Amino acid sequence: MSIFVDDKTRVVYQGLTGSAGRFYGLRNRAYGTQVVAGTNPARGGTEVEGIPVFASVKEAVEKAGATASCIFVPAPFVESAVLEAAEAGITFIAVITEGVPAQDEARFFNRLQEDFPNVRLLGPNCPGIITPGKCNIGITAGEIATPGGPVGIVSRSGTLTYQALYELTQKGIGVTTCVGIGGDPVPGTTFIDCLEAFEADPETRAIMLIGEIGGSEEEKAAAFIGSKLSKPVVSYIAGVTAPPGKKMGHAGAIISGSQGTAQAKMLALRAAGARVAINPTEAGEMMTDLVRELDR
Amino acid sequence: MDLFEYQGKQYFARFGIPVSPGGVADTVDEAVTQADRVGYPVVVKAQVQVGGRGKAGGIKLANNADEVRTHAANILGMDIKGHMVKRLWIERASDIAHEYYASFTLDRGARKHLGMVSAKGGIDIEQVAAEDPQAIARLHIDPVSGLSEAQARQLVSDARLDAQAQGGAVDILKKLYRCFVEGDADLVEINPLVLTPDGRVHALDAKVSLDNNADFRHPEWQEYRATEVLDERERLARSKGLQYIGLSGSVGIIANGAGLAMSTLDVVNQAGGSPANFLDVGGGADATVMANALEVINTDPNVRSILINIFGGITRGEEVANGIVQALQRVHIKSPIVIRIDGTNADQGRQILKAHESDRLMSRPTMLEAARKAVELANSTEASR
């Protein structure tokens, strides 16, 4: 089992003809993902190494049976790309593009909530999602992940997501699904959305949560872990040594006043019963111990 | 990007928000010229991006040219909480009957816009929020439908602004919301929003923080870029499109992705070192980007070793390796480099580096080992100085 995507997911790449879209679209296909189409309004009827390119997502849905979309179009065009996908009947949209204006994100996220409540949006500015061995949508290097479970991963940071997958693979531990929710101000999918889904997934028996400074999403996740989650959690929060008031790359990663510090997040997670590591390697080791305990 | 007060007011004016007439001055003489132009009495205001200017003596009333001269001379060059005053805003003084507060921002938790209005303006709003939270009217606004007339009225009436201010305040709120959305701001704040004895409402201060991601549709932001408060290293990094924040340690850090870069800072600390900077080369960093990053770090005199931590996703290992090799050919990198590469095309990257390994360039298989080596190098060169 897995969450959100599996081997039946049929993906259209909006921006397949661009250099990043092409590279990762082909790489995702090589991994085994059902990459069924690409779109480009000016290049309908062409193809990219056997993947048909349509002028619209609607055509990709009708002619190629696409159910999910992976968006690589440049930031100024993301809002219309997301809405086009939803209107065409796509139910899972992962936006990899970074640099999307916050006002656009706020608008299209709420538009989806109101008019397309069954659509799940992931990102923007996220690495995507991988259900190892079955489906890889986005920019994660698939070979660093081990299929099978029992661990589900949710992370706010792209590169730390890879780091976590890699640490677990080094220990021979499999992953059900790994979701990179991204670090932007208005993430389509939150920690809690993923925790809920992992809780409902019988193959996921433990969860790794990777957060970072800024905002209060980790604290909210901690409250959920303490009250509603039956599965054990290992977490790591990046930015323990980040100075206050400095934006650390992600729009979300800024400590303002006493809010959003790594220490506060770690305390909240620990109080909720999660094991809290001080670096990604330790998180991998803690998860190894945890999985051994579960198997005992 | 945070705007100075005078820029914020100019931005407000684009959206029709009433502000006091005024002008910018960088010297005492310019201050007098501006004051003569706008008419006395005037307020001489330090332009720094930090709160508490008034208390620090950075805002003074002047009734004539001599007073402007005295205050301008005192305030220019003043240090306000570590911010040096280089520029003044001279504006016509306003008679004030009442001071209010108004702002719009994005509530990340709710994923909606948040409007806040209070009859308690002119003081630190965080203090009001802590001591008298009831005094702040809050309203979530759906970013799809935007702020309606009815919602603007609701906010103003919930905040219990004086009756004669309500019409003017509603009008300003609608304009301020447009400034927030169409102006692509992360935050727009007026504190204080004032009511004059003759019943007019206008913005006496302006705090505007712009969303850098929306730069592409705002060519008018170019002039704000020129005055942005950055240190030299940050300016150089910005000109090369890198996310850089200067710190005070001795281990220069280059990583891809904000999360991994932050984590690298943490691990360097845990290994007993101190990071010289945060530098995120972003997604898809190629050879040129890596070379630029090394050049920026190279300008930092405190750096004793450089730790490059790359986990390839959209960034490809061989591109990173090529960049390092090119940078080494292009400029003399003063400090030894320790590198760790994993992820997309990492094997190719390691192969490229292997041919160039020396005591100036070494690779380590894990993040922790690489951090330990970089810290060891930084500490040993520091000890030998």
Give the gap in angstroms from C-alpha B337 to the nearest C-alpha of chain A: 21
Both B186 and B237 in a single domain? Answer: no
Write down which residue in B195, B224, B253 finishes a domain: B224
Mean pLDDT in residue range B7-13:
96
Residues of chain A with C-beta less than 8 angstroms from the C-beta of B217: 76, 101
CATH for B331: 3.40.50.261
Q: Which of B113, B259, B266 sits opposite A158 (nearest CB)?
A: B259
Cβ pair A98:B282 closer than 8 A: yes
Both B120 and B41 in a single domain? Answer: no
pLDDT bracket for residue A22 (50, 70, 90): very high
Cβ pair A241:B269 closer than 8 A: yes
Q: pLDDT by residue (tens digit) across A101-141?
A: 999 999 999 999 999 999 999 999 999 999 999 999 999 88
Cβ pair B266:A252 closer than 8 A: no
Cβ pair B144:A107 closer than 8 A: yes
Mean pLDDT in residue range B2-19:
96
Give the gap in angstroms from C-alpha B306 to the nearest C-alpha of chain A: 18
Provide the pLDDT for residue B329: 84
CA distance B175 to B203: 12
Q: The domain containing residue B337 runs over which residues? A: 232-383
Beta-strand runs (E) in chain A: 10-14, 34-39, 47-48, 51-54, 68-71, 92-95, 120-122, 128-131, 135-138, 150-155, 174-180, 206-212, 233-238, 275-277
pLDDT bracket for residue A244 (50, 70, 90): low
Provide the pLDDT for residue A256: 47
Q: Which of A140, A212, A281 sits opposite B367 (nearest CB)?
A: A281
Write down which residue in B174, B207, B224 finishes a domain: B224
Cβ pair B108:A158 closer than 8 A: no
Cβ pair B342:A144 closer than 8 A: yes
Give the gap in angstroms from C-alpha A242 to the nearest C-alpha of chain B: 7
Angle at B215 between CA A254 and CA A84, to 5 degrees: 95
Just list the catalytic residues of B.
101, 189
Q: Is residue B11 part of a domain?
A: no
Both B217 and B360 in a single domain? Answer: no
Cβ pair B259:A217 closer than 8 A: no
CA distance B287 to B253: 17
Residues of chain A with C-beta less than 8 angstroms from the C-beta of B343: 141, 144, 162, 166
- The radius of gyration computed from the CA coordinates of chain A, to the nearest angstrom, equals 19
Both B344 and B312 in a single domain? Answer: yes
Residues of chain A with C-beta less than 8 angstroms from the C-beta of B282: 98, 249
Angle between helices B28-38 and B65-75 (to 10 degrees): 140
CA distance A21 to B265: 31
Give the gap in angstroms from C-alpha A162 to the nearest C-alpha of chain B: 7
Residues of chain A with C-beta less than 8 angstroms from the C-beta of B271: none
Provide the pLDDT for residue B171: 97
Both B252 and B123 in a single domain? Answer: no
| Same fold? A10-122, A140-295 | yes
**What backbone phi and psi angles, to 5 degrees, belong to B307?**
-110, 120
Q: Which of A98, A166, A238 sits opposite B262 (nearest CB)?
A: A238
CA distance A43 to A21: 14
Both B82 and B123 in a single domain? Answer: no
Residues of chain B with C-beta less than 8 angstroms from the C-beta of A235: none
Q: Is residue B12 part of a domain?
A: no
Q: Is residue B156 part of a domain?
A: yes
> CA of B216: which chain A residue's CA is closest?
A76
What is the fold of A140-295?
Rossmann fold (3.40.50)
Q: Which of B112, B126, B260 sits opposite A159 (nearest CB)?
A: B260
CA distance B68 to B181: 37
Residue B277 DSSP symbol: E
CATH for B151: 3.30.470.20
CA distance A190 to A156: 9
Q: In what order do the strands lie in the sheet with A10-14?
A: A47-48, A51-54, A34-39, A10-14, A68-71, A92-95, A120-122
Mean pLDDT in residue range A231-258:
70
Q: Is residue B115 part of a domain?
A: yes
Q: For the ranges A16-25, A65-74, A236-245, B243-252, which has the lowest average pLDDT?
A: A236-245
Write down which residue in B176, B192, B224 finishes a domain: B224
Give the count of alpha carbons within 13 A of A287, CB side only. 36
Cβ pair A252:B342 closer than 8 A: no
Q: pLDDT by residue (tens digit) across A245-267?
A: 665 554 445 444 446 789 999 99
Q: Is the pLDDT of residue A229 over 50?
A: yes
Cβ pair B278:A248 closer than 8 A: yes
Provide the pLDDT for residue A249: 52
Q: pLDDT by residue (tens digit) across B21-63?
A: 999 999 999 999 999 999 999 999 999 988 788 889 999 999 9
Both B152 and B262 in a single domain? Answer: no
What is the fold of A10-122?
Rossmann fold (3.40.50)
- Taking the domains of chain A in order of start, what are their residue ranges? 10-122, 140-295
Q: Which of A114, A141, A251 sits opposite B343 (nearest CB)?
A: A141
Cβ neighbour number for residue B355 with a 10 Å cutoff: 8
CA distance B58 to B60: 7
Q: For the ranges A204-213, B12-21, B202-211, B285-294, which has the lowest average pLDDT?
A: B285-294
Q: Is the pLDDT of residue A177 over 60?
A: yes
CB pairs under 8 A between A and B: 176
| Nearest to A191, CA basis, from A288, A122, A277 | A122
> CA of A247: which chain B residue's CA is closest?
B245
Q: What pTM was computed for the model? A: 0.90
Provide the pLDDT for residue A245: 61
Q: pLDDT by residue (tens digit) across B49-98?
A: 887 888 899 999 999 999 999 999 999 999 998 889 999 999 999 999 99
Give CA B42 to chain center in angstroms. 29
Both B337 and B241 in a single domain? Answer: yes
Mean pLDDT in residue range B150-168:
96
> CA of B285: which chain A residue's CA is closest?
A20
Q: Which of A114, A243, A253 sits opposite B144 (nearest CB)?
A: A114
- Mean per-residue pLDDT of chain A: 92
> CA of B283: which chain A residue's CA is closest?
A98
| Percent of all residues in chain A with a pLDDT value above 90, rounded to a whole number | 80
Residues of chain A with C-beta less than 8 angstroms from the C-beta of B247: 243
Angle at B91 between CA B85 and CA B95, to 5 degrees: 125
Cβ pair B258:A248 closer than 8 A: yes
Give the gap in angstroms from C-alpha A185 to the nearest C-alpha of chain B: 6
Into how many domains does chain B fold? 3
Both B247 and B207 in a single domain? Answer: no
Q: pLDDT by residue (tens digit) across B105-143?
A: 998 889 999 999 999 998 778 788 888 889 999 999 999
Q: Is residue B246 part of a domain?
A: yes
Q: Is the pLDDT of residue A242 over 70?
A: yes
Q: Is residue B343 part of a domain?
A: yes
Provide the pLDDT for residue B346: 84
Both B40 and B76 in a single domain? Answer: yes
ipTM of the complex: 0.91
Q: Which has more confidence, A230 or A1? A: A230
Both B158 and B211 in a single domain? Answer: yes
Both B200 and B314 in a single domain? Answer: no
Q: For the ranges A12-21, A215-224, B287-296, which has the lowest average pLDDT?
A: B287-296
Cis upstream peptide for A150 (omega within 30°): yes
Q: Which has more confidence, B118 or A242? A: B118
